[in-house]
Amino acid sequence: MENLTVSLSTTLYMTLVMLIGRMAFRKIPDREIVIAQINKMVFSIFLPMMAFRNIYTTDLKTAFDAGLLLYMLAVLCTIWLILMVLVPRWIPNRRTCGAFIQGTIRSNAMIFGLSVISELFAGQDLGCPTILSAFTTVGFNLIGVITLEVYRGQRPDPRKIVQNILKNPVLIAGASAILLVVMDIHLPFFMERTVNAMANMASPMGILLIGASLQMGQCTCKSALAASVLMRLVIIPAIGVTGAAFLGWRGIELYTVLIIMATPTAVASYSMAQVMNSDGVFAANQVGMSSLLGAGTIFLWTVVLDFYQLL
């Protein structure tokens, strides 16, 4: 019952913050430019600080589960390959195909997911979900680039992809934290306090921006949109969580699978779709619909896991 109470409270909190974000940014001049600048600050400062803090304060010997990481990547890559084969037979427009596949696979684990798990497992070691979310986010970026390049008729540039991965501020922060932990180096108190202050801003600012970024364009492929959101919030997590539970993962490890598999479509997928000449309107609708429904489905998934005593 305690898990359900915390989960419901988290769901209502995230929904309210998203609504505030939507209303607060609605009438701002040059709204999209302002959101993009703040979003850049969240991804380059606040999220890296949260990743650093979560890893710096954890026991790496117990936090990193290579088996769980390989399992999640295997599930996601298998689903991605199936979509790459089947979706073009259903959706004739190649630009919409690319947006459909990317938005269906790519979840908002770093912002939406870690916000949920930090509330539900408050006071516990968050190294496992932080590390695994960071690694799977790299996988999502790789899948997104390859998918959109393929469906706009161009070949992906492996060197550019690797460069973008190595420049990812979340990965740099995570690697720095791992290095300090391994070398048993402790930061001065004023630096730890600064990191904590920046890290604590990641969740509310990220959720606020999700609300501010909600866009519902004139989507002509409503059945495809419904199918994408259903897969993102229900089908993919059902496959991933069921398999993980069957293989023996429980508690925070199993919930890590849930936040990576069941969170709404990443806001970045909309930006990438626009930049890479994909169907930006469809991508905006994916982010909007999945974000509006995601808090509720996460709560329902928590109810199911709690009912079967898997948390």
**Would you state the pLDDT for residue 300?**
92
The one-letter amino acid code at 273 reads A
The DSSP letter of residue 122 is T
| CA distance linking residue 65 with residue 262, whole number of Å | 20
Residue 153 has pLDDT above 70, yes or no: no
Nearest Cα residue to 254 out of 172, 309, 190: 309
Average pLDDT of the residues in 61-81: 89
Residue 156 has pLDDT above 70, yes or no: no
| Overall residue count recorded for the chain in this entry | 311
At residue 36, φ and ψ (nearest 5 deg) are -60, -40
Instruction: Name which of 11-20, 187-196, 269-278, 291-300 the model is least confident about.
Output: 269-278
Q: Are 177 and 55 in contact (CB under 8 A)?
A: yes
Residue 166's CB is within 10 A of a number of other CB atoms, namely 11
Nearest Cα residue to 70 out of 284, 213, 257: 257
Which residue(s) pair with 107 in the sheet?
A: 265
* 207-261 per-position pLDDT tens digit: 788 788 776 666 667 889 999 999 999 999 999 999 999 999 999 999 999 999 9
Sequence-separated (6 or more) residues with CB below 8 Å from residue 297: 233, 234, 262
Distances (CA, A) of 41 to 3, 28, 38, 44, 138: 32, 18, 5, 5, 19
Q: Where are the alpha helices (DSSP H) in the chain?
A: 2-24, 31-41, 47-56, 60-63, 66-90, 94-105, 114-120, 127-150, 158-166, 169-182, 189-213, 222-230, 236-246, 251-262, 268-275, 280-307
Tokens of 215: 């866009």
| CA distance linking residue 103 with residue 269, whole number of Å | 6
Sequence-separated (6 or more) residues with CB below 8 Å from residue 306: 3, 4, 7
| CA distance linking residue 146 with residue 144, whole number of Å | 6
Q: Which CATH architecture has domain 2-307?
A: Up-down Bundle (1.20)
Residue 188 has pLDDT above 80, yes or no: yes
- Kindly list the domain boundaries of the chain, sorted by start residue: 2-307
Instruction: Name which of 96-100, 145-149, 161-165, 197-201 the model is least confident about.
Output: 161-165
Q: What percent of the chain has pLDDT over 70?
A: 92
pLDDT band, very low/low/confident/very high, at 51 (cuts 50, 70, 90): confident
